[in-house]
Amino acid sequence: MTTIKENGWERSRDPVGIWEHRGKVALVGRGHSDTDRRWDGEDLSKTLGAYTMRAAELAMEDAGITIDDVDGVVTSAGGQPNGQPLSDVWAPRPFFDPPYDSEDGLTSVTAEWLTQQMGLKNVKYTHSQGGPIWNLIGLAAQVVGDGLASVVLVPYPNGNLPGRYHQTPGNKVGGPAQWASTWGWGLSGQGFTFDQYCRKYGSDHDAMAPFVVQERANGLLWEPSYYAQHEPGEFTVEDYLNGRMIAKGLSIFDCDRPVLAAACYVVTTAEKAKDMNQKPVYILDHTESAFQPRSLVQTLDDTEEWTDVQAQRAYAGSGLKPEEIDLFAPYDGFAVFTQYFLEAFGWRGVKRGEAHDFYAGDISLKGPNPINSGGGNMGSGRMRTVFITDPMEQLQGRAGDRQVSIKAETAVTIGVLPVAAGVLAMSTSPD
């Protein structure tokens, strides 16, 4: 197997410059499994492996290719940070009794397991320890651009076991961190940053309602969404405002819902893409960033500085200007993340402190500012793949009832966190 130097592919140092493979790599096919809340630990037809194989089969069918065409597989075994599989992160091992002799294919899915199970005999490049889906697509694009493989499957398995979410010794904080994680990982810190934002710019939690409500509505129009499949009822402003507060400034409806699902994408050369079933979506650039807070907790100053850098790298690498971005899909695992990305990228001219005013305007699918037209995590569950699938389908003109009214020729998506994120720029044209 051909390998790529770890982290050597990341475009994370300034000046990044225009990506050398700009427009020479394309997204073509996509496939999604069903979406469940959790795996019951028994039904083998609903394991993460079974769902990932189904997503891969659908992605190949969508692109019009066979297993003989695939020569690369890039994945993150369990959809977790740093490529850690679910089995290593969420519960002490071994979790299962015999006859299970491996977590691979059950709660995690490596590229090697998928290659073997699907009979991918021509694979010459594999990678199983990638990060979130933005980073995986970026890595696959670099692999294709560098000539290490020409048709790469990018599966993204995302697992969820009952009673196991973040229940690990690694999440028991000590030392200075205990003062920053009083109410658990991430949440209290994000509430602190959001409180700073509201104080600085004169806003409050209620101003988030139009955005979250619109996302849920958009997500109901995306078939793989957890809510579309299991909770298709209307989500109202009143629902949002009455949400149980779980940290100062943040309610339960500002947090995405963990789910069990898998998605897969086909990344290939621009030349090969011309002969496949779907219109190519050309990748203009990928960039990656990671930062460290100045103190125990992330502050608003940190957040704004980091997202400014992420935006600057994305514009420098893609050659796009803010006014040239038709669609913007920023991550919303906590709904408050979106405003920081929106203001940093200056989409639709939004400046620091103006996001909530922007939400109060027309952000509907058929309006001029359809932010997160796929619904984001708030509208689909913690799948993350909607941030790839929806811009891709919008640019291909096959988003169905979600299809935006504006002319969509370019898209930018970013995730996961202000502290560490990947950015992808896409276009209907390679130029």
> Could you report the per-residue pLDDT of 382-396, keeping only the tens digit for each?
999 999 999 999 999
Quote the pLDDT of residue 193.
92
Rounded to 5 degrees, φ, ψ at 283 are -90, 115
Element containing residue 269 per DSSP (H, E): strand 261-269
Cα 250 from Cα 195, distance rounded (Å): 9
Tokens at 332, concatenated:
């919303």
- Average of pLDDT values for 63-75? 98
> Could you report the per-residue pLDDT of 251-301, keeping only the tens digit for each?
999 999 999 999 999 999 999 999 999 999 999 999 999 998 888 778 999
Please say whether the beta carbons of 413 and 391 come within 8 A. Answer: yes
Pick the CATH number of 25-166+258-281 from 3.90.180.10, 2.30.42.10, 3.40.50.300, 3.40.47.10: 3.40.47.10
Cα 89 from Cα 76, distance rounded (Å): 13
Please say whether the beta carbons of 299 and 196 come within 8 A. Answer: yes
pLDDT tier at 100, thresholds 50, 70, 90? low
Quote the pLDDT of residue 163.
63
Tokens at 215, concatenated:
């996302």
Element containing residue 237 per DSSP (H, E): helix 237-241
> Could you report the per-residue pLDDT of 358-373, keeping only the tens digit for each?
999 999 999 999 999 9
Quote the pLDDT of residue 295.
80
pLDDT tier at 91, thresholds 50, 70, 90? very low
Q: Is the pLDDT of residue 90 over 50?
A: no
CA distances for 63 relative to 74, 111, 236, 249, 286, angstroms: 17, 20, 37, 44, 22
Quote the pLDDT of residue 172.
55
| Most distant CA atoms of the chain, gap in Å | 59
pLDDT tier at 179, thresholds 50, 70, 90? low
Q: Is the pLDDT of residue 85 over 80?
A: no
Q: What is the DSSP string of 389-404?
A: HHHHHHHHT--GGG--
Q: Beta strand pairing status for 72-74 and 125-127?
A: parallel
Q: Is the pLDDT of residue 99 over 80?
A: no
| Residue scoring higher pLDDT (174 or 18) | 18
- Average of pLDDT values for 177-197? 73
Tokens at 42, concatenated:
């028994």
**Residue 283 CB coordination number (10 Å):** 29
Quote the pLDDT of residue 102.
72
**Mean pLDDT, the chain, integer:** 90
Tokens at 289, concatenated:
């960033």
Q: What is the pTM of this model?
A: 0.93
Residue 251: CB partners within 8 Å, gap ≥ 6?
205, 240, 243, 244, 245
Q: Is the pLDDT of residue 124 over 80?
A: yes
Q: Nearest to residue 282, comparing CAs of 396, 131, 126?
A: 396
Please say whether the beta carbons of 130 and 420 come within 8 A. Answer: no
- The answer to whether the bond into 94 is cis (omega within 30° of 0) is yes
* Domain boundaries along the sequence of the chain: 25-166+258-281
The mean-pLDDT minimum among 6-10, 60-64, 81-85 falls in: 81-85
Long-range Cβ pairs for the range 82-90 (8 Å, 24+): 82/129, 82/131, 83/128, 83/129, 83/130, 83/131, 84/129, 85/110, 86/48, 86/159, 86/161, 89/168, 89/170, 90/161, 90/164, 90/165, 90/166, 90/167, 90/168
Can you point out the beta strands (E) in 270-339? 281-290, 327-330
Quote the pLDDT of residue 366.
97
Q: Report the half-sphere exposure of 293 (CA within 13 A, side-chain side).
A: 14
- Average of pLDDT values for 319-337? 97
Please say whether the beta carbons of 21 and 141 come within 8 A. Answer: yes
- Average of pLDDT values for 212-230? 98
Give the DSSP letter of residue 62.
H
